[in-house]
Structure 1
Amino acid sequence: MLFFLFRRLMQGLAVMSVISLISFSIQDNLGDPLREMVGQSVSEAERQALRQEMGLNDPFLVQYGRFMSRAVRGDLGTSYFFKEPALKVIMAKLPATLELVFGATLLIVLISVPSGVYCAIRPRSWLTRVILGVSILGISIPVFLTAIFCIFFFSIELGWLPSYGRGELVSVFGLWESGYFTKDGILHLVLPCFALASIMLPLFIRLIRSEMVEALHTEYVKFAKAKGLKKARVYFVHALKNTMLPVLTVGGVQIGTMVAYTILTESVFQWPGMGFLFLEAVHRVDTPLIVAYLIVVGGIFVIVNTLVDVLYGLINPTVNLARPAQ
């Protein structure tokens, strides 16, 4: 296990180095940050002097080397707009984004597992046809259209749920503010969490269904039925347990993907998270904030995938994590 963790750490550092290089290399194509910082009233000579002072005229490798020397110390630059460390600004918005991802993940688990199992054990029922039909529709509709429809139907027409913002927040152990502990906060979470979950929900319903169908035809499930065990135990203990390994593998990747997909969800619902902050940074050409966001999201991907690999080895003892791939 220690060898595996060390190997994944080295792989993670290599991946993060590539992400940092790509993120830093695209900043020159995003526009001129001085235009947003000083406006049009500053002369060209003053602009050039400011560019020289900020090091924007230095060669790319010099700028990248200076950036990496600070990054290894946790300094990803200073936001041009907020005048604060970019990492600090992003970390302040991270809890809001993680709330959306957690809520969406919870909805996916609570809906996809029973739906996928039911579609596998009742393949010809009318409800199965409805679930699979809706899942196809869900795959076809972009998340921003789902979000707009939810706002129109549940907020404007019915007036049941709020359409923007985080609502009432409370402090959690003095570390961050959350809406999960107030009624108003939970109501504000429902629509954006559902819209975000709609991206992955059809995928997991169909994945669990296909894996469950395969598991129901295995010998150990047939033996469990022959022993006279209750159907619920056969389905949800013997069969479902063995369908979770591929679901866990795909789920780890998709959770990281949802962090990136929050950009669209947060934009529609005006949710003050990392995604909404990223869009504002793009409009302002706040390149340190853009680069820091890409690196943080890449780090989340690496951490989640490593945790999934560790959990996979713990759930399935036949997997030897320390053994290099042949």
Structure 2
Amino acid sequence: MGYVGQRLIQAVFVLWVVATLCFLMFRLMPGDPTLNYIDTSMTEEQRQNMLVAFGLDQPLYVQYLIYLKNLLRGELGNSFLQGRPVLELVLEALPLTVALTLSALIVAYIFGVIAGAFLAWKRGSLTEGVAIPLVLATRAAPEFWLGMILLAIFAFGYGWFPSGGAASAGAEYGSEWERLFSLDFLYHLLLPALALAVYLQGLPLLLMRSTMLEVMQDEFVTMARMKGLSEWTIVIRHAARNALLPVATAFALGIGGSVGGNVVVETVFSWPGLGRMLVTAVQGSDYPLAQGAFLIIAAVLVLMNLVADLLYGWLDPRVSHGRKG
């Protein structure tokens, strides 16, 4: 429990640092939120009244104290552009980002684990010689490039899938759960999830392969061969199970990293998630909305890092014991 408490304190400290940097970054960057409201008939006095309404007339340190006070109360302010509570807007976009992230990660890690174990089994073969460069190429390819290729072929070329959005025009749903599990939503989700999965599958595949190659040299694998077990049984029932430890922790880290790294994919496919919301807010100098989206992304990333650290210690007690020592 002491170790868990220490990690929680570190997570809170990291979130405070991120919140502070986020506050300073969006206020020191070029741009004025009032420019989105100014027209030719607006006077300087009206502009100053707008700054007062936004709370931007106060000194920077006063704005910072108000900002921290609101964060402790769970308030993220109101969006400058939309006039709605930031928390409400973020909670509307978060399920879409989570759906995209989890679907892509599940596909990527299932394929990566199976393919990685298979390539470790086929080490030195022609199959491995062809597959590894392909995996490295997909891992190195930019996400927006993969997305544009899929759009060009399956959306604009054959017209099999929509080119963007999360729902068809005019679609209505009784609840958010009904929307997320509708066929129309899954139809729109398939292409962006595929683009993200193609990019993400390289890490679990290469990690599983390298870990499998190490495990295959262990004594218990040699003992299994001496017992006369088949190679496939040794690979699946013995080596693969022991090689899954780093892959499992990488999956937890992948959730946090992908939630914050989906900006490119969400922008290419016009997916109304947190990443696209963050880009729109930054472009419009919407400080509260940009801060809220950024903080939620950072909180998810910190939380999943904490989960991965604790999960690794739970799956392999030697890690926890080593830290205590």
TM-score when normalising by structure 2: 0.92
Contact 1:143 1:196 in 2 (8 A): yes
Q: Tell me how far apart the structure 2 counterparts of residues 265 and 18 of structure 1 sit (CA, whole Å).
A: 27
Partner residue in 2 for 1:8? 7
Q: Aligned letter for 1:210?
A: S
Q: Report 1:173-184 matches (<5 A).
A: 174=175, 176-179=177-180, 181-184=181-184
Contact 1:104 1:196 in 2 (8 A): yes
Q: Aligned letter for 1:17?
A: W
Q: Tell me how far apart the structure 2 counterparts of residues 40 and 86 of structure 1 sit (CA, whole Å).
A: 29
Q: Secondary structure at the match of 2:61?
A: helix
1:222-244 CA-partner distances (Å, limit 9, x unpaired): 11222223433321232112222
Structure 1 residue 40, shift from structure 2 partner: 4.4
Structure 1 residue 100, shift from structure 2 partner: 0.5
Partner residue in 2 for 1:131? 131
1:143-179 CA-partner distances (Å, limit 9, x unpaired): 000000001112222333222122368969x554544
Q: Which runs of 4+ in 1 moved over 6 A?
A: 168-172
Structure 1 residue 114, shift from structure 2 partner: 1.2
1:90-118 CA-partner distances (Å, limit 9, x unpaired): 11110000010011111112210111111
Partner residue in 2 for 1:250? 250
Q: Aligned letter for 1:98?
A: V
Contact 1:117 1:212 in 2 (8 A): yes
Change (3 A) 1:40 1:134: farther
| Structure 2 residue 281 is matched with structure 1 residue 264 | no
Q: Secondary structure at the match of 1:260?
A: helix
Partner residue in 2 for 1:202? 202
| Structure 2 residue 96 is matched with structure 1 residue 96 | yes
Q: Tell me how far apart the structure 1 counterparts of residues 295 and 230 of structure 2 sit (CA, whole Å).
A: 50
Q: Tell me how far apart the structure 1 counterparts of residues 49 and 161 of structure 2 sit (CA, whole Å).
A: 52
Contact 2:105 2:254 in 1 (8 A): no
Q: Tell me how far apart the structure 1 counterparts of residues 52 and 87 of structure 2 sit (CA, whole Å).
A: 24
Contact 2:204 2:247 in 1 (8 A): yes
Partner residue in 2 for 1:25? 24
Comparing 30-39 with 64-73, greater Cα deviation is found at: 30-39
Q: Aligned letter for 2:98?
A: L
Q: Tell me how far apart the structure 2 counterparts of residues 324 and 213 of structure 1 sit (CA, whole Å).
A: 27
Q: Tell me how far apart the structure 1 counterparts of residues 46 and 187 of structure 2 sit (CA, whole Å).
A: 50
User: Unaligned regions of 5+ residues in structure 2, if any?
Assistant: none
Contact 1:78 1:288 in 2 (8 A): yes
Partner residue in 2 for 1:78? 78
Partner residue in 2 for 1:61? 61
Contact 2:260 2:301 in 1 (8 A): no
Q: Aligned letter for 1:224?
A: A
Q: Tell me how far apart the structure 2 counterparts of residues 222 and 240 of structure 1 sit (CA, whole Å).
A: 14
Q: Tell me how far apart the structure 2 counterparts of residues 294 and 313 of structure 1 sit (CA, whole Å).
A: 29
Partner residue in 1 for 2:112? 112
| Structure 2 residue 309 is matched with structure 1 residue 309 | yes
Q: Tell me how far apart the structure 1 counterparts of residues 66 and 324 of structure 2 sit (CA, whole Å).
A: 37
Q: Tell me how far apart the structure 2 counterparts of residues 189 and 215 of structure 1 sit (CA, whole Å).
A: 37
| Structure 2 residue 225 is matched with structure 1 residue 214 | no
Give the superposed CA RMSD: 2.1
Contact 1:95 1:178 in 2 (8 A): no
1:30-53 CA-partner distances (Å, limit 9, x unpaired): 410111134443111221233234
Number of aligned residue pairs: give it.
322
1:274-308 CA-partner distances (Å, limit 9, x unpaired): 11111111221111000111110110011111222
Change (3 A) 1:307 1:114: same
User: Unaligned regions of 5+ residues in structure 1, if any?
Assistant: none
Q: Aligned letter for 1:19?
A: V
Identity rate, percent? 30
Q: Aligned letter for 1:22?
A: L
